[in-house]
Amino acid sequence: MIPEVGHFALILALCLALILALVPAWGAWRRNTAAMALAPGLAIGLLVFVGISFTCLSIAFLQDDFSVKVVAGNSNSLLPPIYKFSAVWGNHEGSLLLWALILCLWTSAVAVFSSQLPLLVLSRVLSVMGAVGVGFISFSLLTSNPFERLLPGAPADGNDLNPLLQDPGLIIHPPLLYMGYVGFSVAFAFAIAALLGGRLDASWARWSRPWTNVAWAFLSLGIMLGSWWAYYELGWGGWWFWDPVENASFMPWLAGTALLHSLAVTEKRGLFKSWTLLLAIFVFSLSLLGTFMVRSGVLTSVHAFATDPARGMFILLFLGVVVGGSLTLYAFRAPAVSSRVAFAWVSRETLLLLNNVFFLVATLTVLFGTLFPLIMDALGQGKYSVGPPYFNAVFVPLMALLVPFMGLGLVSRWKKDDPRRWRAELGVPAVVALACGVTFPLLGEHYNVWVALAVVLSAWLVLGLFKDFWYRVRGAATLGRGLRRITPSYWGMFMAHLGFAACVTGIVATSQYSIEHDLKMSPGDSEVLAGYEFRFIELTPVRGPNFVADEARFEVLHDGQPVASLAPQKRRYLATGSVMTEAAIDAGLFRDLYVAMGEPIGQDGAWAMRLHYKPLVRWMWLGAILMGLGGFTTALDKRYRRQRSPARVSGGEALHGA
Amino acid sequence: MHPVRKQRLYLVLFVVLFSSAAIGLVVYALSGNINLFFPPAEIAAGNAPVGQPIRVGGMVVDGSVQRSDNSLAVRFELTDYEATVPVVYEGILPDLFGEGQGAVASGVLNDEGVLQASEVLAKHDENYMPPEVADALEKSGYDEKGNAK
């Protein structure tokens, strides 16, 4: 009964989405206020019905209703309840429903938090989001109905969730990633609304910016979690594989980073308007392309749950309609919104333009490397694969070239700056950064040029950041008052750039200084890695809720002192019989120690073991967290809420003044 | 020329130069880092290049996996039921690697027709077959158990 309620609610949601896509848009066109005023209510109704549908599916999973096909295929009565819940999106049908739910969350959020928007703009924005909703809900209903029953013939127990997905990181990774992916639909909807209205001014950028920043922040955290999960769960100690599915989430992030900066210029200076619109369309198209690649089964990957050509065709068509439709609209209407403001070459605008060029080129090279095998396959040219060396060879130089301009951009002025001022400002930071680059790698195992370069670049960026920060604080009577003068949007910018510097340092240091030993070990053996002695103490059998495992116990000593005791496992899951490696990690701010079990070798109880020493690997994820938090912080800025109700806010400001 | 136009011209020139540099970099990086997939039948027919990175996929032949007793070296055979290719690898195999299962190995073919693998990939879950392997079996006309279709 409950699955049928869910199915019915989803059908009702589709009807509401259709009305939301058509009626307010018609109202905006005919200037019919009554029709436009329906939009917020419809958006919230949509959320309610998709919410009911999602709740019904969750109940089916939690109650082990194996007559529902996806439950039977992806859950098991032995599964711990928290994984039964995360199994809801651990499969194709359920994850699409989650996509739809998150889209409705964003749509309702726009409806609720945008009361300062003119009704005309709001109704257009919500209509566009309703249209996207129609696409995804009908995709769910027509090609991948999550409520399909196995009647008669419901199995007694389910097939179990893929053991790789039975992990705390994977409970929140997909929702966060989707919050980011789908969040860019808001920027897209604002762009389409601006094109439809033919008007784009600073207030437009001010409305669109916080939504974009928040979506970007979610995406940053989602990608970071995915990378962290791969690191500890796949048992190889790798954190980024340039796997097409990773690229699918990384491309919207790269293009989204360009969009953030372009929006900043549009808001502050009224420049790059049509470019910003194009980027907003591009970013959301990349989100859809990512969904297509991941969900159509054209890729070999843990994320490709199903291979059904009808699904691939549906998303491809949908992608075609969205991209084709919005680009056509752009071609006709973009001249109406183009900007007529001049800026000098030596200015912050130029540097932000460079940022956009770099991030866009990076996006396109990743896009090319990701699509190349698919295109060659479609043309019948054979099955190629493009390996990580390609991506590293292209991506790393691009980012290395970008960072010097980032440091410069932070201290530069809008409109017109002076190269002599730059020299005076940045002479000292340049020397200090070089000094850091020369000295810091001496702390490592051996001197490494690439680490030195990364430290120079990061230090340059951080010093530029602090210099600008100091200028903003120093004018105040006391330090506290100076700090209070700094706006949330500046704090956010500060954190995100600091995070980027940490990320660069972490990535380069861990890539260059990591040590990996794969070797045969018997209990009693020991191996020394970067001064750490790994002692294999014993091997014991262990029993978990839905698996049995062999557990190896390791003691790690440094200079004769015990520093960690590690217990990696080799698990066999009972429902499917599949085997899984559970790595053991001693995490630290400056280094991780990592042990994973391979397979038994020979007859005398020896195992293949993988030992890792990974310096600064945490910096990369901490940096990504800082970037994400920075993105959220910018959205707290007062200026994004100022126009809601002028009376109340001016009252608030009066209070602050007092 | 009008200063705004001039600025635009420089901008376009910069974008063109920068993109050509990026495209050059892409082509250069691509030329050394792509590898093509070959089913065992094509390797037996001598269509695969020797000494260049390639990928080979098929089913792991039952009883063919031989592990060394004192190192991580392992030897196995991949088949599409028309031909088999011997593979040698040194390292830890993925969890879902096993006899009678689909796998893809990437590496370099030597003069004796043995693939020196640098990476072995298996499927990600129980009911999943790497698409290349599925395709190779499709071509050879056998199902995954080796029965002719």
The answer to whether ipTM exceeds 0.85 is no
Residues B72 and B119 in one domain: yes
Please say whether the beta carbons of A56 and A97 come within 8 A: no
Closest CA to A417 of A349, A346, A342: A346
Whether B59 is covered by a domain: the verdict is: yes
Q: Which of B25, B68, B95 minimises the CB distance to A397?
A: B25
In this prediction, residue B51 carries a pLDDT of: 85
CB contact under 8 A, B131 and A307: yes
| A445 pLDDT above the threshold of 80 | no
Six-digit token string for B19: 């993109």
Question: Which whole number is the average pLDDT over A62-66?
Answer: 92
Alpha-carbon distance of A548 to B95, in angstroms, equals 15
Whether B16 is covered by a domain: the verdict is: yes
In this prediction, residue A642 carries a pLDDT of: 58
CB contact under 8 A, A302 and B4: no
CB contact under 8 A, A342 and B3: yes
CB contact under 8 A, B18 and A361: yes
A583: contact with B, CB 8 A cutoff: no
A377: contact with B, CB 8 A cutoff: no
Which residue range forms the structural domain that includes residue B55?
Answer: 37-123
Q: Which of A357, A386, A398 minimises the CB distance to B15?
A: A357
A353: contact with B, CB 8 A cutoff: yes
Q: Which of A383, A520, A596 minimises the CB distance to B72?
A: A520
Residues B51 and B17 in one domain: no
State the smallest CA–CA distance between residue B111 and chain A in angstroms. 23
Residues B24 and B47 in one domain: no
Residues B20 and B53 in one domain: no
Q: Which of A384, A578, A581 minimises the CB distance to B36?
A: A384
Whether B149 is covered by a domain: the verdict is: no
State the smallest CA–CA distance between residue B146 and chain A in angstroms. 23
Helix (H), strand (E), coil (C) string for A7-34: HHHHHHHHHHHHHHHHHHHHHHHHCCHH
Q: Across the strands, what pairs with B122?
A: B103
Chain B hits for A598, Cβ within 8 Å: 72, 92-93
Whether B55 is covered by a domain: the verdict is: yes
Residues B66 and B89 in one domain: yes
| A302 pLDDT above the threshold of 50 | no
Q: Tell which A residues from 103 to 132 touch B, by Cβ distance under 8 Å.
A: none
Looking at the structure of chain B, the number of domains it has is 2
Sequence-distant (6+) residues with CB within 8 A of A239 are A227, A228, A230, A231, A510, A617, A620
Alpha-carbon distance of A80 to A546, in angstroms, equals 8
CB contact under 8 A, A394 and B25: yes
Residues B69 and B44 in one domain: yes
CB contact under 8 A, A397 and B131: no
In this prediction, residue A658 carries a pLDDT of: 31
Alpha-carbon distance of A277 to A214, in angstroms, equals 18
Question: Which whole number is the average pLDDT over A399-423?
Answer: 89
Question: Which whole number is the average pLDDT over A342-359?
Answer: 88
Q: Looking at per-residue confidence, does B96 or A242 come out higher?
A: A242
Whether B27 is covered by a domain: the verdict is: yes
State the smallest CA–CA distance between residue A256 and chain B in angstroms. 19
Range from A99-108, A159-168, B50-59, B130-139 that averages highest in pLDDT: A99-108
Six-digit token string for A267: 């808001």
Q: Reduced to 3 states, what is the DSSP secondary structure of residue B74?
A: strand
In chain B, which residue's Cα lies nearest the Cα of A368?
B26
Residues B49 and B96 in one domain: yes
Please say whether the beta carbons of B112 and B43 come within 8 A: no
Torsions phi, psi for A477 (to 5 deg): -65, -45
Six-digit token string for A89: 């999106």
Residues B71 and B20 in one domain: no
Q: Reduced to 3 states, what is the DSSP secondary structure of residue A583?
A: coil
In this prediction, residue B96 carries a pLDDT of: 78
Whether B24 is covered by a domain: the verdict is: yes
Residues B41 and B28 in one domain: no
Q: Looking at per-residue confidence, does A45 or A418 come out higher?
A: A45
| B121 pLDDT above the threshold of 50 | yes
Kindly give the pairing relationship between strand A606-615 and strand B53-60. Answer: unpaired
Position A656 confidence tier, pLDDT thresholds 50, 70, 90: very low
In this prediction, residue B123 carries a pLDDT of: 65
From edge to edge, which strands make up the β-sheet containing A515-521? Answer: A515-521, A606-615, A591-601, A584-586
CB contact under 8 A, A383 and B93: no
Residues B52 and B79 in one domain: yes
Position A298 confidence tier, pLDDT thresholds 50, 70, 90: low
- A4-45 pLDDT tens trace: 999 999 999 999 999 999 999 999 999 999 999 999 999 999
CB contact under 8 A, A579 and B35: no
Closest CA to A554 of A563, A568, A566: A566
State the smallest CA–CA distance between residue B35 and chain A in angstroms. 5
The single-letter DSSP state of residue B148 is B
In this prediction, residue A301 carries a pLDDT of: 45
- A123-146 pLDDT tens trace: 999 999 999 999 999 999 998 899
Q: Which of B14, B67, B125 minimises the CB distance to A601?
A: B67
Six-digit token string for A539: 């091997």
Q: Residue type at A485?
A: R
In this prediction, residue A654 carries a pLDDT of: 33
Residues B101 and B118 in one domain: yes
| Whole-number percent of chain A with pLDDT over 90 | 56
| B100 pLDDT above the threshold of 90 | no
Residues B12 and B73 in one domain: no
State the smallest CA–CA distance between residue A387 and chain B in angstroms. 6
Q: Across the strands, what pairs with A566?
A: A554
Please say whether the beta carbons of A648 and A538 come within 8 A: no
Whether B147 is covered by a domain: the verdict is: no
> In this structure, what CATH number is given to the domain that contains residue B48?
2.40.50.140
Whether B132 is covered by a domain: the verdict is: no
